[in-house]
Amino acid sequence: MGKLIQFSTAASRFDGEWHWQAAGMGYVIVTDNGHLICIDGGTDHNDAENFVKLLEETAGGKPTVDLWILTHPHDDHFSVLYNIAADEALKARVTVKKFLCTVPDELPWQSKGGTANAAEDMRRVFAIAPGLNAEFVRALKDDVFTVDGTKVTVYHTYLNADELEDPNELSMVFSVQGRKKKAMFTGDSYRSGLQTVLRAYDPSVLKSDIIQIAHHALNGGDRAFYEAVDADIALVPISRSGDRAMKSPEENCSADNDWAIANASTVLKAFTGTASVDF
């Protein structure tokens, strides 16, 4: 039976004073025949160890990941895969066939000083595929990738963006269609990227059963996009501290994300623990 697993990162369990900390994000999709698709992963070496353990438990032995997708080059999304690629002991425990990541060779704003470690982030992202000896693929809008009958469809990359002023605007938007359900992934998308998708596709194309709430349910997201997706299950990669802060009028910066969560009948927040849904 296929399933979609939301990984509970260490950062998602942070329960201290809120300072807009990143929460990390990671997903595993298991096809009916046990093939694996991964999305992002999390932040640090501890997450990498636990993510590999999750894959081993899911596979019942040494796992082979057919496709590992990186949504965008922020370290709370790509660092698990980077740590696996850079650590011989971790790398020996998992095989990654294909690594999908669509980012520019250089970030256009890094010379402006807006993201101090952007160059280092990009160096680490581009070290992943050779470190894993995996095939490196840059996706384009409307590309389709199929793993054991499970279909990944790309709706947006940075090449289609109206503006690029922050690494979050490099987030890919894509769906994964399993045998039972369709999931829409947004990474850390802001409104402009999701509105670009909405202009390009009929809402019937975007309709999904599951939505990954954009940018950890902080700022970002777009209500019109969420209305088109109209998902019944919301995946929320947010920290316990962030969830508490987003409920206060002083901090809540995304009524759009709030709407999508309220519209879902099932809400899975990452800080409550690693959890799965049938897929």
Mind giving me the DSSP string for 78-134? HHHHHHHHH-HHHHTT-EE-EEEE---SS-TTGGGTSSTTHHHHHHHHHHHHHHHT-
- The fourth-level CATH superfamily of domain 3-278 is Ribonuclease Z/Hydroxyacylglutathione hydrolase-like (3.60.15.10)
Can you give the pLDDT at residue 57? 98
- Following CA atoms 117, 122, 128, 129 in sequence, which dihedral angle do they give, to the nearest 10 degrees? 180
Q: Does the pLDDT of residue 253 top 80, yes or no? A: no
Mean residue pLDDT of the chain comes to 93
Mean pLDDT across 120-125: 89
Q: Please give the pLDDT value at position 251.
A: 73
pLDDT exceeds cutoff 90 at 226:
yes
pLDDT at 110 over 60: no
pLDDT at 250: 72
**For residue 1, is pLDDT > 90?**
no
Read off the pLDDT band of 12 (50, 70, 90): very high
Residue 220 has pLDDT above 70, yes or no: yes
What pLDDT is attached to residue 133? 96
Distances (CA, A) of 73 to 89, 99, 154: 24, 13, 17
User: What pLDDT is attached to residue 247?
Assistant: 85
Between 55-64, 111-120, 190-199, 265-274, the lowest mean confidence (pLDDT) is in: 111-120
- Residue percentage of the chain with pLDDT more than 90: 83
Q: What is the pLDDT of residues 24-43, one digit of tens each?
A: 999 999 999 999 999 999 99
Report the residue count for the chain. 279
Report residue 218 CA to chain centroid gap: 15
In this predicted structure, the answer to whether residue 115 has a pLDDT above a threshold of 80 is: no
Cα(88)–Cα(78) distance, integer angstroms = 17
| pLDDT, tens only, 148-184 | 999 999 999 999 998 787 889 999 999 999 999 999 9
Name the band, by pLDDT with cuts 50, 70 and 90, for residue 122. Answer: confident
Residue 10: pLDDT band with limits 50, 70, 90: very high
Average pLDDT over residues 85-105: 96
The domain locations on the chain are 3-278
* pLDDT, position 191: 94
